[in-house]
Amino acid sequence: MPEWPIRLVPSWRRATATTSCDVGPAGLSTTAKPHGSAVVVVRSWSPPEDPTVEQEQQAQPTETLVEGLLSGLQQADVPVVGVETTAEDASAIDLYRTQGVSSVDDVETLAGRVALALLLGGGTPGHYGVKDSATDGVAPPVPVPVPSG
């Protein structure tokens, strides 16, 4: 069985509505918005560094699939966060950035897990972590309630 190019990992929060998805020529469409759910994307495939023409042709359908899934999830208003570990050689952060998907580049660390939780909980979208690709800091800002009175 071939390995899928990405894994879509539902968040730990329970969905309160059922969603059915169809993938067709127009992309991904959903019939209902899942309330209280989100998707964590882990890319398990990366294009070759110096691809031959044949490798580029073979990679194109996979790249189109990944981009279509990310775009469809964004259009369905489902919170999406792309993650990777600090040891990842072939980073997917640029892909997430071009698709408008927030990212965490150090998900195996405590700070990375906190950043992921904050993003899934509606935190400020951005690119968080410890690598150069983390343009928004280690984690989203945490709103602090100001006591009234």
List per-residue pLDDT tens for the chain, 149 residues long: 444 455 555 443 333 333 333 434 444 333 444 455 788 988 776 667 788 888 888 878 878 888 888 888 888 877 889 999 999 888 889 989 988 999 999 999 999 999 999 999 889 999 999 999 999 999 999 878 888 87
- Provide CB contacts within 8 A for 67, sequence distance 6+: 95, 99
* pLDDT at residue 14, rounded to an integer: 35
Would you say 95 and 82 are in contact if contact means Cβ atoms under 8 Å apart? yes
* pLDDT at residue 7, rounded to an integer: 52
The domain ranges of the chain are: 6-104
* pLDDT at residue 107, rounded to an integer: 94
* pLDDT at residue 85, rounded to an integer: 93
Q: What is the pTM of this model?
A: 0.69
